[in-house]
Amino acid sequence: MNVLVINCSPVRNGATAEIVRIVSRQLSGKYVVEPVCIDDYDIHFCRGCRVCHTTAACVQHDGVDRLMERFEWADVIVSVAPSYWADIPGQFKVFIDRCTPWCNTHEPHAKLSGGKRGYAIALRTGPSMRECERIIESIRHFYGHLEIESCGSLGLCSIEYKEAVAPREREIIRFCDSI
């Protein structure tokens, strides 16, 4: 089974990256795991042209093609997203917008292979779980339109820098055990 773990933050060595590292290490005991960072990919803004509504393909070709190849490869996708202004980081949102060719609300649309499972982990500095839930909901919404089954989520509050992740390692490992 192939697992794609996405750092949805542009920071390659921050708290999100640390969580991606723990998840990847845990899951590599039973699956083939590939960790990636959204910032590894050159992704341009959606232009809102809607050509994909009739062609099922984007007029632009960039890092989206490569990242979607990784989605196709994966049986399980784990998206790890920090809160940036109470929402997912802009880089991840731009990627989601560009996934409109795969969105099941229009025909024709591009399709990933069936049977994929998706998980979401949200983190933030503030103390309230509501903001994590909002981020998790954005990821679930995205998975839903790509027909990736949402199978679990984890919210982690009170995390600003990577040093705050170590005391939460057990929580993260317990979550990994459910994947």
Note the residues at the interface with ligand FMN (CB under 6 A).
9, 11, 14-17, 82-86, 123-126, 131, 159-160
Q: How far is the CB of 162 from ligand FMN (least distance, A)?
A: 7
Q: Which is nearer to ligand FMN, 157 or 179 (CB)?
A: 157
Q: How far is the CB of 9 from ligand FMN (least distance, A)?
A: 3
Q: How far apart are CA 52 and CA 45, in angstroms?
A: 14
Q: Name, in order, each residue with C-beta under 8 angstroms of 41's C-beta and a sequence gap of 6 or more.
A: 62, 63, 64, 66, 67, 95
Q: Which is nearer to ligand FMN, 123 or 136 (CB)?
A: 123
Q: Report residue 12 as tokens.
A: 């390659």
Q: How far is the CB of 103 from ligand FMN (least distance, A)?
A: 26
CB 49 within 8 A of CB 59: yes
Q: Which is nearer to ligand FMN, 61 or 130 (CB)?
A: 130
Q: Which is nearer to ligand FMN, 85 or 107 (CB)?
A: 85
